[in-house]
Amino acid sequence: MHLKDEFSAVGALKKGTPCAPFEDDLMVHLGVESIECITFFKRLQFGDAIFHSQMYKRVSRRNNFTIAYSQGGCRVMAKLKFFLVGETSRMTCGAVIAPMSMFSGALCESHEVMGNIVNHIVPLHQPQKNRFDIIPLEDIIDVCLYTKFSDSEVGYAAHFPNHLEKD
Closest CA to 92 of 30, 158, 161: 30
CB atoms within 10 A of CB 54: 16
Q: How far apart are CA 100 and CA 13, in angstroms?
A: 27
Give helix then strand counts, H and E, for the chain.
1, 13
Residue 141: inside a domain: yes
Q: Which residue segment(s) compose the domain that 12 sits in?
A: 2-159
Give residue 145's pLDDT band: very low, low, confident or very high (50, 70, 90).
confident
In this structure, is residue 167 part of a structural domain? no
- Total count of domains within the chain: 1
pTM of the model: 0.79
At 84, which CATH number? 2.30.30.490
Q: Is residue 49 part of a domain?
A: yes
Asked whether residue 147 is assigned to any structural domain, the reply reads yes
Residue 131 confidence class, pLDDT cut points 50, 70, 90 = confident
Question: In this predicted structure, which of 102-106, 125-129, 146-150 has the lowest mean pLDDT?
Answer: 102-106
pLDDT at 133 exceeding the cut of 60: yes
Look at residue 144 and tell me if it is in a domain.
Answer: yes
In this prediction, residue 114 carries a pLDDT of 58
Residue 9: inside a domain, yes or no? yes
Helix segments in the chain, DSSP class H: 23-30
Strand partners, 8: 2, 45
